[in-house]
Structure 1
Amino acid sequence: MSIWKKNSSLERLNELSENTIISLLGIEYTQIGDDFLQATMPVDSRTHQPHGLLHGGASVVLAETLGSVAGNLAVSANKVCVGLEVNANHLRSVKSGVVIGTAKAIRIGRTVQVWQIEIKNEKEQLICTSRLTLAVIPAPQ
């Protein structure tokens, strides 16, 4: 059974990301499951730190993007989610290729949501694990 309360598509999510940090970093939504949202991000000059490795901040952008978008899809039309706290543990370095982030809900409450985001490399090795806490608030009028 699906957790989503708002309808969306990969095409629509990617379209909404144009001209944002999401598109700047090359993040692309790739899969919406019944209880998860997935996206990829290239590991290249846009996402490298000075030593040629994936920048931890880029991983956090991917994690917060996935959790925030998933959270907003999981609330009714008169609600939105905004970030309260994000943390990340960087477990393995990556020099090139693509990383895949997957967001799954830990808790979808009336006023607070908590999302777990795992970022893996192309060999499915865990690169970063992140937790995002969102506040559920009334949608702006």
Structure 2
Amino acid sequence: MLDKDNILTQCNTMCKDTLMETLDITFCDVSESFLIAKMPVTPKVHQPDGVLHGGAMVALAESVGSAATYIFLNSKDFYIRGIEISANHVKSIREGFVYAKAVIVHKGRTTQLWDIKITDEENQLISVVKLTTIALPKKK
């Protein structure tokens, strides 16, 4: 059985002193088939004209997809790295929160493919991201 509180605590603890902490990304929901993280939309993550920067959305997506790989592979023996990411931004947002939901498309032993939808607080689609991760064995 999935220990939801423990997994979310573990994910949020890993964020200390990282880009995720800088962007105020927090992990807020998990199940057997997905992981969700949220990020506030503030001037800190705006582009010059006052809307959410596409790079911040990509950072959010890679953060949630990489964390999901780590969780769902149950892999303390691997380093997880993103090896390819593509994003289509379909709507702008100026304030509030965005939520990134990572769902596995392919769960291979070495590579994993994630579908990540970024939505606003009204569940309107903001961005669609495809992320490929790789699990690299740690040297003993």
TM-score (norm 1): 0.91
For 2:36 and 2:109, locate their aligned partners in 1 and report how far apart those are by CA, in whole Å: 24
Task: Name the structure 1 match of 2:96.
Answer: 97
Task: Name the structure 2 match of 1:121.
Answer: 120
Q: 1:9-58: per-residue Cα shift (whole Å, max 9, x none)?
A: 21221111011110111111001111100011000011111000000000
* Alignment size in residue pairs: 138
Task: Name the structure 1 match of 2:67.
Answer: 69
Shift of 1:103: 0.3
> Residue 19 of structure 1: SS of its match in structure 2?
coil
Q: What is the alpha-carbon root mean square deviation over aligned residues?
A: 1.8
Q: Which amino acid aligns with 1:39?
A: A
For 2:111 and 2:95, locate their aligned partners in 1 and report how far apart those are by CA, in whole Å: 36
Q: Which amino acid aligns with 2:23?
A: L
> Residue 46 of structure 1: SS of its match in structure 2?
helix
Name whichever structure is richer in helix by fraction.
2
> Residue 44 of structure 2: SS of its match in structure 1?
coil
Moved more, 109-118 or 131-140: 131-140
Q: Which amino acid aligns with 2:70?
A: N
Task: Name the structure 1 match of 2:16.
Answer: 18
For 2:139 and 2:46, locate their aligned partners in 1 and report how far apart those are by CA, in whole Å: 36
1:1-141 superposed matches below 5 A: 8-75=6-73, 76-141=75-140
Q: Which amino acid aligns with 1:121?
A: D
> Residue 134 of structure 1: SS of its match in structure 2?
strand
Shift of 1:8: 4.8
> Residue 43 of structure 2: SS of its match in structure 1?
coil
Q: Provide the identity percentage.
A: 38
Shift of 1:139: 2.2
> Residue 9 of structure 1: SS of its match in structure 2?
helix
> Residue 57 of structure 1: SS of its match in structure 2?
helix
